[in-house]
Homo-oligomer: A and B are copies of this chain.
């Protein structure tokens, strides 16, 4: 099967591919707002029709929330599952948009042509790169090069409440050799990337109780416990002077990077100055013996995401409050055990409480880190294909955030996942004036065509 003909077909068909994407972008499929329920259904229907046109056996699959789209097609020894989501983020504040978020337009900008609309990058533009690659294969060869399951979700931007139950109920139907997830980005503007390390997340909320009511600091200050003081003292000791987390056993399960990955990361042109400079900072604040990329991708963190207590309004009130609160999260890597960490963190915290203070805990959930099995030859095949399309070697990268879907494929379907996407850092996903570079759309389609050929 000739790849060159497929790539040529993709180039020739780009205007039509773009028209199809714009049509999908006109559907305001905001999943979190019930007012757009019918639009979400319309987006799912549109995709089913498009998949049928590509020869898939496709259907809308109801859930208690927005429907899933599932499609099957192609033949071959290799069986791939492709995941994307057709729902989009809300658009408020609408006043910050330069045009209607659901009236997409291709615009010329100093950095090239962009597709401007809500969902252009996250995730309609990205998921359509895969469908357009399939279309080109089908057009040139009359068939798909592999056996394919397409699995599109409509609740990714609203917490995916139906996803796990659906995966569990349809585990057999969704089984494949490996999952392809297109919801991530390039490294920098030009380097294709496969995310192979995802940090996990653990959330805790604590309330320290001291006196049985708010006290006047003139009447009681000095003699009575102040829970804010207790909270700052304990949380102020969460890191040592070198930025290491002080909770006992915190680093259990955290491995050093494999040499191959370390060398790849060293060769990545990570613009550390602009990474921090863009947000008004200059000095990496984490573990002082780690590079910024390590801090973000392969090292665990502890952060205080919220703190409150006492009087926080205008003016001043000399109160010793009865309670003080904080929300703390941990980013997990490698084999860190979330349950053990929660236990160790609480024990560490409680051991530092003075007399007369108690603490209540609220568990805000957790997910373990994801580490992809890059020993599977599919990873190296995809990496080579991406390098050929983009002209620079593709990188195995980490992701500082958590992308739960990757873990779900592993947990509920026992499948590894390859996270490959073509977004850029300036796509403004979740923000006004979201865009997707036309180059990313075009080369994204070509990338998938190459990957399908390599994996077939």
Interface residues of A (CB under 8 A from B): 199, 201, 203, 205, 210-213, 215-226, 228-229, 231-239, 275-276, 279-287, 292, 295-296, 299, 301, 303-312, 315-321, 324-325, 327, 329, 331, 354-356, 364-365, 399-402
Contacts and interface: CB of A to CB of B under 8 A. Distances in A.
Given A215-B279, A217-B305, A305-B319, A222 B295 contact: yes
Number of copies: 2
B364 A221 contact: no
A275 B212 CA distance: 13
A223 B211 CA distance: 38
Contacts of A316: 203, 205, 305, 327, 329, 364-365
Given A301-B217, A307-B307, A211 B402 contact: no
A212 B234 CA distance: 27
Contact of A306 (B224, B235, B295, B311): B311
Contact of A220 (B222, B296, B299): B296
B287 A222 contact: yes
A319 B326 CA distance: 13
A308 B305 contact: no
Contact of A402 (B199, B218, B312): B218
A375 B124 CA distance: 84
A309 B307 contact: yes
A406 B279 CA distance: 50
8 contacts: A223-B275, A223-B284, A232-B236, A232-B238, A283-B354, A283-B356, A307-B309, A312-B325
A427 to B, nearest CB: 13
B303 A308 contact: no
A351 to B, nearest CB: 14
A415 to B, nearest CB: 23
A320 B305 contact: yes
Nearest to A204: B316
B222 A296 contact: yes
A150 B215 CA distance: 33
Nearest to A287: B222
Contacts of A222: 285-287, 295-296, 299, 301, 331, 400
Interface centre among A201, A318, A325 (most CB of B within 10 A): A318
Nearest to A279: B211
Contact of A331 (B217, B280, B329): B217
Contacts of A220: 279, 296, 400
